[in-house]
Amino acid sequence: MQVRPAQVSDDDAIWAIIGPTIRAGETYALPRDMSRAAALSYWSSPAHEVFVAEEDGKVLGTYYMRANQQGGGSHVANCGYMTAAQASGRGVARAMCAHSLAHAQARGFRAMQFNFVVSSNERAISLWKSCGFDIVGRLAEAFEHPRLGLVDAVVMYRML
């Protein structure tokens, strides 16, 4: 599996991954009815650096990196990761996270923060923990899950 910078020609593949995740509305705080254009514009916004994970020429996942804050907070990175449903369980998210940690260090970031990990997304929380992240905050009932109703979100953080 190779993780490389995304190109405009990856837009269809990226939408094929982020579209179903957004529509499901279970893990990201984004409008479920977001259009393809709005979703791609958000994911590939000017402040984001976007990567894709590819195997045998097929894009299996994508992530973005940005500075989480400006000014005095600009040394902390933030990322969002999404994996194609059909590639779940194959280590795509772990590979992207490892890539992002190395890339963030290379760019001079000193920490990485995930602002809003939905607490019912236990698989993600467990994965980020295994990648060195700690839960450093809990936001009570901050997420309206389409099936579970109001659930907590957690803030995860690690130094680089």
Q: How far is the CB of 1 from a copy of itself (least distance, A)?
A: 29
When the beta carbons of 4 and 32 are compared against a copy of itself, the nearer one is: 32
Beta carbons of 15 and 40 less than 8 angstroms apart: yes
When the beta carbons of 86 and 150 are compared against a copy of itself, the nearer one is: 150
Q: Which value, to the nearest 10 degrees, does the dihedral of the CA atoms of residues 12, 143, 88, 58 take? A: 10
Query: How far is CA 30 from its chain centroid?
Result: 12
**Cα–Cα distance measured from residue 14 to residue 12, given in angstroms and rounded to the nearest whole number:** 5
When the beta carbons of 82 and 92 are compared against a copy of itself, the nearer one is: 82
Residue 155 in contact with a copy of itself, rule: CB under 8 A: yes
Q: Interface residues for a copy of itself in 68-127 (CB under 8 A)?
A: 69-76, 110-111, 113, 115-116, 118
Of 46, 57, 89, 146, the one binding a copy of itself (CB under 8 A) is 146
Beta carbons of 60 and 152 less than 8 angstroms apart: no
Residue 5 in contact with a copy of itself, rule: CB under 8 A: no
When the beta carbons of 28 and 81 are compared against a copy of itself, the nearer one is: 28
CA distances from 119 to 18, 62, 131, 142 (A): 20, 21, 17, 10
First to last CA, the chain: 23
By the criterion CB under 8 A, which residues form the site for a copy of itself? 22, 25, 28-32, 34, 69-76, 110-111, 113, 115-116, 118, 136-146, 153, 155, 157, 159
